[in-house]
Amino acid sequence: MIRISPVLRRRRKQAFISLMMLMLCTTSYAGQTMDDSLTPTGAILQGSDDGQIPDWVSDKTVADELHQQLDKDTPLFVINGSNYQKYQAHLTAGQVALFELYPETFEMPIYQSKRLHHIPQWLEEATRKNQKDAELIDDGNGITNVWPGVPFPTPENALEILWNHLIAWRSISAKGTFVEATIHPEQRHYLIKTEVEIAMPYYQPDRVPVTDNIILTYYLTRITSPARIAGGATLVHDSMNPKMGQRQSWIYNVSQRRVRRLPFLGYDTPNMNSDDIRVVDEVNLFNGSPDRYNWKSNGRKTLYIPYNSKVLAQSTSDIESLLTPYHLNTAPTRYELHRVWELEATLKEKQHHIYARRKLYLDEDSWMALIAEQYDQSDALWRVSLSHTQYMPDMPGVMKVADVFHDLNSKSYYVQSLIEDNGRWIEFSNKLPEKSHFNPVSLKRRSTR
C-alpha cells in the first residue's frame, strides 16, 4: 500500500481548490509567468500598438523626472457633454452617466499617458516569490503562503485580481492630513479635517511568508476640526484573512470621554461623515471581505482613467476652490488612457448589501481601483466613484490624492482628499511603529493631546 504524506495530501487539496476557483471565476488569461514582458508588479511592459499607451518607464530616475514635469503638461483634448459619444469606447458607464447628468459642467481633460509606477526592490523580489507560492484559501476569501509583495502578479481568476487591489502597496507606514466634505445641491457644506496614520505589517520587508493570519493594516484617525467634534478618534485593526479574524474597531467619543469598542464595522455600514453617500467597504473603492459577492473578471480594457494627479494635489491647499456643485472642479483633474482590469461583483443569494451589483476598474500597474460603479436592487446605476492618485517618488509608489463618491440620484457627492497642512504633505516611513501605538488603551491619551 502506498502511503501519501500529509504534505502531498495538502498540496493535492490546495490544487483541487484552485481548480474549482478557476472554474467559478471568469478569467482573461491563466498561468502567465513573470518574465521580461511584464513589469515588476505583473503589468504588460509594452505599450499599445498605436502608441497611445506608452511602455512602462523602467528607469526610476527617468520616472521621477517625468513626475516633476507633470505640472507643465497641457491637455491633448477635453471630453465634455457635447463630444463624449465620440470617445465612448474608452469610457465606463459611470463616466457616461456623469456626462449625461451634468452636460454643462462635467469634463475630463485628457493628457499624454505616462506609466511611472515604481516599487522598492525588496517588494519586487517578494512579488516574484508570490508568483510561485501565494494561494487562495477559504473559497477565495483569504490568502496564504504570501511574501510582502503583490500576491498574484499573474492572476488566474477574478478573486486573485481583487486581492491584488485589497493588498495594493500603500507604503509601510504613512501619516498625513485629510479633508472630508459632502456637497449637496444648493446647501452649505462644512469641512472635516482629520489626521490619519496607516501602517501595513503585511509589507514588513524582512518577514517570513504568512501561512495563517496577520494584521493587514492599522488605521488611526483623529478629527482636528470643526471644534464641535474635534478630538474624536477611530482605530481599526484590519485582518488579512477575515474568516480567521474579523476587523476590530474602536472609537474615542469626545463628549463621553471614553473609548468604546464598536460592533463589526464593514460591508454596507454607513459612513456618517458622508451623509450616507459612502459605506464602509467603499474605502479605497472596495475593501474588506469579498464573501458576499460572486466575482468575475471581464478582462483587460483600455479606458480614460484619473491618473498622475499632481496638479490636483497641488490644488488641495485651496480645497474650497475644488468643491464646486455636483462634482469636483474639473480644471485641475487629469485623465489618461491606460489598461485596466474590469471586475464585476454580483450579490449572492441570501446575502445582504445595499449594492446588488458593482464594477471595479483596476489600474494594471498599481492594482489600485480607480473607478467604481454601484448598482441598486433594481440594477440601476446608483453611484459612481473616482479615485485620483499620483506617483510618489519618495515612497516610491502610487498614493491617493482624492476619492470622490457621486450619488446620481441626489446629485450630491462626498470627497475625501489628502491636503497640505502647515507645509507638510505626507510623511512616509520604512519602519513600522510599535504595536502599542495602535493600542486602544492609548487612543484616549493621543486624542486629548
pLDDT at 434 over 50: yes
Q: Check residue 101 and give its pLDDT.
A: 98
Q: How confident is the prediction for the chain on average, in pLDDT?
A: 91
- Interval 254-259 mean pLDDT: 86
Query: What's this model's pTM, rounded to 2 decimal places?
Result: 0.91
Q: How confident is the model at residue 21 (pLDDT cuts 50, 70, 90)?
A: very low
Quote the pLDDT of residue 1.
39
Can you give the pLDDT at residue 443?
83
Mean pLDDT across 279-306: 97
Mean pLDDT of 247-257: 89
pLDDT-based confidence at 449, cuts 50/70/90? Answer: low
Q: Mind listing the pLDDT tens digit for each residue in 342-368? A: 999 999 999 999 999 999 999 999 999
Q: Which of 416, 407, 387, 389 is nearest to 326 (CA)?
A: 407
168 contacts 366 by C-beta, under 8 angstroms: yes
Please say whether the beta carbons of 277 and 417 come within 8 A.
no
Tell the burial category of 411 from Cβ atoms under 10 Å away from its Cβ (0-12, 13-18, 19+). middle
CA-nearest of 358, 338, 300 to 155 is 300
Average pLDDT over residues 149-169: 98
What does the pLDDT average to over 370-380?
98
What are the pLDDT digits (tens) for 99-114?
Answer: 999 999 999 999 999 9
Backbone φ/ψ region at 68: left (φ over 0), alpha (ψ -120 to 50), beta: alpha
pLDDT at 149 exceeding the cut of 80: yes
Q: Does 40 sit behind a cis peptide bond, omega within 30 degrees of 0 on the bond before it?
A: no
Q: What is the mean pLDDT of residues 119-129?
A: 97
Least confidently predicted of 121-125, 157-161, 224-228, 358-362: 224-228
pLDDT at 234 over 90: yes
Instruction: Return the closest-CA partner of residue 199 out of 401, 434, 388, 402.
Output: 434
**Average pLDDT, integer, range 418-435:** 83
C-alpha distances (whole Å) from 227 to each of 231, 274, 447 are: 8, 18, 13
Residue 435 has pLDDT above 60, yes or no: yes
Rounded CA gap, 447 and 431, in Å?
23
State residue 2's pLDDT score: 39
Mean per-residue pLDDT, 394-419: 95
Q: What is the pLDDT of residue 7?
A: 43
Nearest CA-CA partner of 406 in 435, 430, 374: 374
Regarding predicted confidence, which is higher, 372 or 245?
Answer: 372
Mean per-residue pLDDT for 156-171? 97
Lowest mean pLDDT among 80-94, 111-125, 313-327, 434-448: 434-448
Q: What is the pLDDT of residues 172-215, one digit of tens each?
A: 999 999 999 999 998 889 899 999 999 999 999 999 999 989 99
Among 80-84, 191-195, 384-388, which is the least confidently predicted range? 191-195
Q: pLDDT-derived band of residue 69, with 50, 70 and 90 as boundaries? A: very high
Could you read off the pLDDT of 259-282 as tens digits, one per residue? 999 988 899 999 988 999 999 999
Cell of 218: 492599522
Give the residue with greater pLDDT, 30 vs 204: 204
**Per-residue 3-state assignment (H helix, E strand, C coil) for the chain:** CCCCCHHHHHHHHHHHHHHHHHHHCCCCCCCCCCCCCECCCCCECCCCCCCCCCCCCCCHHHHHHHHHCHHHCCCCEEECCCCHHHHHHHCCHHHHHHHHHCCCCCCEEECCCCCCCCCCHHHHHHHHHHHHHCEEEHHHCEEECECCCCCCCCCCCHHHHHHHHHCCCCCCEEEEEEEEEEECCCCCCCCEEEEEEEECHHHCCCCCCECCCCEEEEEEEEEEECCCCCCCEEEEEEECCCCCCCCEEEEEECCCCEEEECCCCCCCCECHHHCCCCEHHHCCCCCCCCCCEEEEEEEEEEEEEECCCHHHHHHHHHHHHHCCCCCCCCCCCCEEEEEEEEEEEEECCCCCCCCCEEEEEEECCCCCEEEEEEECCCCCEEEEEEEEEEEECCCCEEEEEEEEEEECCCCEEEEEEEECECCECEEEECCCCCHHHHCHHHHHHHHCC
* Distance between CA atoms of residues 244 and 261, nearest Å: 19
pLDDT at 174: 95
Percent of the chain with pLDDT over 90: 82
- Contact indicator for 35, 169 with CB cutoff of 8 Å: no
